[in-house]
Amino acid sequence: MLTRRSALSWLGVTALLPLTVHAAAGERLYLNAYGEKGGFGLAAFDGDGRIRYQLPLPQRGHSFARRADGRMAVAFSRRPGSFALVFDPVAGTAIRTIAAAEDRDFCGHGAFTADGRLLFATEVVGSTGDGVLGIYDAAADWARIGEVATHGLDPHEMRLMPDGRTLVVANGGILMRADMPRLKLNIADMDPSLVYLDARDGRLLGQVRPATELRQLSMRHIAIDRLGRVAVAMQYEGPEGDPVPLVALHDAPAGAAGLEYLPMPEAERAGMRQYCGSAAMDDSGRYLAVSSPRGNRVLVWDLDRRSMVQTGEARDVCGIAAQVRSGFLASNGLGRMFSLTTETGIGELAAHSRLQWDNHMVIAS
């Protein structure tokens, strides 16, 4: 059953207005948080990198949850996050600002249920570091109606599986507390895991971990392929010279089978500098892209053949999302946007030099 908690004190709707034109009907839009001189915000842009609107954020943003009908999205603040902004991703108008509950911090990611009524957000208990999913009811003015455990520490990205009933959560396994923000307290005995939960009651359906010798592989980001398998992009907290795998597949949601690590030439693995920043599937669900802002590159795998098929190099690149029909869009911390395909590699699309794009790009509509 869902744990009931005290009512949340709302901040109210922030008076934010879009700064540029709205999207054309039927056009695919993308979202990315950004920083700029004097503040933070989010922007929507088209497949050519043209900005369609911007909304200011009170603090640094991270990623987004989008409702299936495309009429609602939520921007989450970067961990330890204090707010989430509900907005219309097509019109570019703010709807509601949600404050983090007492002794809870947002972890930058979330997902809607299939019917769009409930929003799940990855959160940590500030005093203990335990992971939870906060549950918010869109039909009750976004009230926080409960939470369920993620059965681990440091939950980060989560997704709703294609069955519409199962939530998958990447537990990073790192202990951090509110009184020591961003200080990693358990590197020697981390416990990362991939967890499957029933969205209807929070019941644990399965949990898979790396082998003990790989326990410093922090599970961070998730993408789901056309067969319903979960791709996991990880960050290694051990020595930079250790030749550890960084990307894996898991046959979800049973959780009984172990992780299948994707092949990566050693030069490319070393070039990632033990850090994956984001993961995305292309429109076909066959090609997986994983970025590394520390390694200044995006790698692409053909999951049918289990082979790496493309490398794109760009400084501080992290945000990635599927282009229409084939390939990927990418963004970096220098305000640039790129197109990446398996045929032509990476090419710059647009530059917004005053903006520093944050870690994640998602499809808005």
Three-class DSSP labels, the chain? CCECCCCCCCCECCCCCCCCCCCCCCCCCEEEEEEECCEEEEEEECCCCCEEEEEEECCCEEEEEECCCCCCEEEEECCCECEEEEEECCCCEEEEEEECCCCEEEEEEEEECCCCCEEEEEEEECCCCEEEEEEEEHHHCCEEEEEEEEEEECEEEEEECCCCCEEEEEECCCCCECCECCCCCCHHHCCCEEEEEECCCCCEEEEECCCHHHCCEEEEEEEECCCCCEEEEEEECCCCCCCCCCEEEECCCCCCCCCEECCCCHHHHHHCCCECCEEEECCCCCEEEEEECCCCEEEEEECCCCEEEEEEECCCEEEEEECCCCCEEEEECCCEEEEEECCCEEEEEEECCCEEEEEEEEECC
Domains of the chain from N-terminus onward = 30-265 (2.130.10.10)
Contact 35, 70 (CB under 8 A): no
Give all strands of the β-sheet with 193-198 in edge-to-edge order: 155-160, 166-171, 193-198, 204-208
C-alpha to C-alpha distance for 310 and 329, rounded to whole angstroms? 14
pLDDT at 18: 39
C-alpha to C-alpha distance for 108 and 65, rounded to whole angstroms? 10
pLDDT at 252: 74
Measured at the CA of 63, the angle between CA 62 and CA 66, to 5 degrees, comes to 155
Contact 28, 365 (CB under 8 A): yes
pLDDT at 5: 33
Cis amide linkage into residue 210, ω under 30° from 0: no
pLDDT at 221: 98
Contact 113, 120 (CB under 8 A): yes
Max CA distance (Å), the chain:
54
C-alpha to C-alpha distance for 251 and 360, rounded to whole angstroms? 25
> pLDDT averaged over consecutive 10-residue blocks of the chain (365 residues)?
31 33 68 96 97 97 96 96 96 97 97 97 95 97 98 97 96 89 87 96 95 97 96 96 96 75 96 98 97 98 96 97 95 98 93 96 94
pLDDT at 21: 46
pLDDT at 365: 86
